[in-house]
Amino acid sequence: MADLSIDFCGIKSPNPFWLASAPPTDKAYNVVRAFEAGWGGVVWKTLGEDPPAVNVSSRYSAHYGKNREVIGFNNIELITDRSLEINLREITQVKKDWPDRAMIVSLMLPCEEAPWAAILPLVEATGADGIELNFGCPHGMPERGMGAAVGQVPEYVQMVTAWCKKHTRLPVIVKLTPNITDVRHPARAALAGGADAVSLINTVNSITHLDLDRMVAYPIVGEASTHGGYCGSAVKPIALNMVAEIARDPMTASLPISGIGGIGNWRDAAEFIALGAGCVQVCTAAMLHGFRIVEEMKDGLSRWMDTQGYADIAAFSRKAVRNTTDWKYLDMNYQVIAHIDQDKCIKCGKCYVACEDTSHQAIARAVDEAGTRRFEVIREECVGCNLCEITCPVDSCITMVPQESGKPYMNWTQDPRNPRAEPAPAAAVVEQAGA
Ligand SMILES: Cc1cc2nc3c(=O)[nH]c(=O)nc-3n(C[C@H](O)[C@H](O)[C@H](O)COP(=O)(O)O)c2cc1C
Ligand code: SF4
Ligand code: SF4
């Protein structure tokens, strides 16, 4: 049986599944039930200075799929709306009752040293295992010079991180905002400030949809709305890329990462870990489906690790980083061609329309003697773009088959078709590509 326990920058946890700072970790009642369900740790809902924040009604909206499944979730909530004293008291009690679980306290304070110096000893006194700096909240708090207003300026990230390192011995995790052009800059700044780890992503600026009768976006507050923070399944690709960017960056490659964003099952978690994360955090999936989703996450991950022969999380952590490279290092001689399994094909024609209208006219449509439609790939025309495979509604009906070209690895920097080709020694380039 695989060992799911982790040591994340000195913080021990029985499994890599933590609840992210948000309503699921808002109070002792929730956190205790989460621990009973099996979560390895929590990042407590962000604390700030008193008086506590005040929230509006309503607060959430969603981007729905065709069957009303929630693809993305949007919120305009602020940090905790309960007093610092109540939160600290509850954190102390929960940590005392659940000593083996990771307890991280999220903090957001003004960009001045004194408030940080004042709050950190109070947090340390709770027995918490670490702190997370919320530099990511995209709404409400930036207007007050906090949250994303700090996270978007690397110099501020470094400065505040350094204050925290000065005033606490607890591990400091810096939570990054995705609302920035290049996430590597605040990650480097966090490291320069002495951060023990980064966590990402916080929510993405968003407006999900409108009430077109009232001409106002959701969530509606009276007659108006405001942009919120987007999360849930839809943001997973953005988060995975940002995690990989930091893991690949030579300047931050050694920085532990807590992966967040759209994680809803064990496979999502395994992907984040393979691309650089040492643990993962979950918010929206728990809000939509309850705390018990962690059971499937733990079971699924553990079973998969057993089938792969991974004894512990470290055995596959960062394993996909070396295979994630810049476009210019991809193999120009690699070729795949679509193949349609005629036994599985339901003759819907979706692949034909997609390829005919918007790709390379590489699928032929024919009607046989029995009047049955048949779709065939024209191998000579297929560029292997994957579009037909993506549009096909039948699982594994279209597969992309690698072709034997007999040609060696050659990337764009070496390609004679590239007017700026650099005659680089192939071995060195292959090494850079992680091939
Ligand atoms: C309603 C709501 C409230 C949130 N509040 C906080 C917060 O107080 N502090 C924080 O750092 N992140 C907060 N977040 C962001 C989450 O911690 C997390 O970074 C984000 O939702 C992405 O993860 P997910 O896709 O699993 O939801 C909040 C998210 C939601 C949906
Ligand atoms: S892979 Fe692209 S080019 Fe080839 S058949 Fe499919 S859609 Fe057409
Ligand atoms: S989309 Fe798939 S099922 Fe539909 S015709 Fe093409 S191969 Fe067949």
pLDDT 10s digits, 300-352: 999 999 999 999 999 999 999 999 999 999 999 999 999 999 999 999 999 99
> How far is ligand 3, taken at its centre, from the CA of residue 367, in Å?
14
Whole-number pLDDT of residue 149: 80
Nearest residue by C-alpha to atom 4 in ligand 3:
348
Domains of the chain, residue spans: 6-315, 327-435
Whole-number pLDDT of residue 420: 87
Distance, CA of 43 to CA of 422 (rounded, Å) = 48
**426 pLDDT above the threshold of 60:** no
Report DSSP state, residue 170. S
Nearest residue by C-alpha to atom 1 in ligand 1:
75
Whole-number pLDDT of residue 142: 67
Query: Are the CB atoms for 63 and 71 separated by under 8 Å?
Result: yes
Whole-number pLDDT of residue 435: 39
**What average pLDDT does range 113-124 have in this prediction?**
97
Give the ligand whose atoms come closest to the C-alpha of residue 381: 2
Whole-number pLDDT of residue 430: 45
Q: Which residues make beta-bridge pairs with 12?
A: 7
Whole-number pLDDT of residue 368: 87
Nearest residue by C-alpha to atom 7 in ligand 3:
345
> How far is ligand 1, taken at its centre, from the CA of residue 60, in Å?
12
Distance, CA of 429 to CA of 412 (rounded, Å) = 10
Q: Where are the alpha helices (H) located in 56-175, listed in sequence order?
A: 84-97, 113-124, 148-151, 154-167
- Looking at per-residue pLDDT, the higher value among 420 and 168 belongs to 168
> How far is ligand 2, taken at its centre, from the CA of residue 362, in Å?
6
Residues 63-111 have pLDDT tens digits of 999 999 999 999 999 999 999 999 999 999 999 999 999 999 999 999 9
> In the structure, which protein residues have their CB atom closer than 6 angstroms to any atom of ligand 1?
20-23, 45-46, 73, 75, 77, 79, 106, 134, 136-137, 175, 202-203, 231-232, 235, 260-263, 282-285
Q: Is 352 in the pocket of ligand 2 (CB under 6 A)?
A: no
Task: Please check whether the domain covering 6-315 is classified as CATH 3.20.20.70.
Answer: yes
Task: Please check whether the domain covering 327-435 is classified as CATH 3.30.70.20.
Answer: yes
Whole-number pLDDT of residue 23: 97
Q: What is the DSSP annotation of 12-31?
A: EESSSEEE-SSGGGSSHHHH
What's the predicted TM-score (pTM) here? 0.95
In the chain, the percentage of residues whose pLDDT exceeds 90 is 91
Residue 429 pLDDT level (bands cut at 50, 70, 90): very low
Q: Is 377 in the pocket of ligand 2 (CB under 6 A)?
A: yes
Distance, CA of 43 to CA of 46 (rounded, Å) = 8
Token look-up 């023990």 returns: 196
